Amino acid sequence: MGRTCSSFQSCGRDETWAEGFLEWLRIGKQAEEILVLEPREFLTSNESVAVVGYMKCLAKPTGRVYESDFVHVITFKDDKIIRFQEFFDTYIAGEAFRPE
């Protein structure tokens, strides 16, 4: 069976999940500034945590600010993070980055 690819890792490259995640963070830091990141609720199970919250970000290329609720789902195995999923209003974020 082939290997599973995350959104942080290209199946065509040999980088580790952690390297892909760090690259995603680097790209994000260049493109936007997080002005507010407010966790409001933590939902837990044996293998995962879901963080429900609010964020406000500055799109650096346009200077526009956008706001959205978010959910981060973090899955663990053997005391290590094996998956990170982020859900937020991608339309409103895309509009903040759209050139005029």
Distance CA 74, CA 3 (A): 20
Residue 81 covered by a domain? yes
Residue 18 covered by a domain? no
- CATH number of 42's domain: 3.10.450.50
Dump pLDDT digits (tens) for 35-78. 999 999 999 999 999 999 999 999 999 999 999 999 999 999 99
User: pLDDT band for position 96 (50/70/90)?
Assistant: very high
Give the pair of three-digit tokens for residue 25: 């963070």
Distance CA 75, CA 81 (A): 6
For tokens 């690819």, the residue is 5
Q: What are phi and psi of 98, to 5 degrees?
A: -70, 125
Note the pTM of the prediction, 2 decimals: 0.75
Q: Determine which helix (DSSP H) or strand (DSSP E) holds 55, and give its type and residue range.
A: strand 48-59
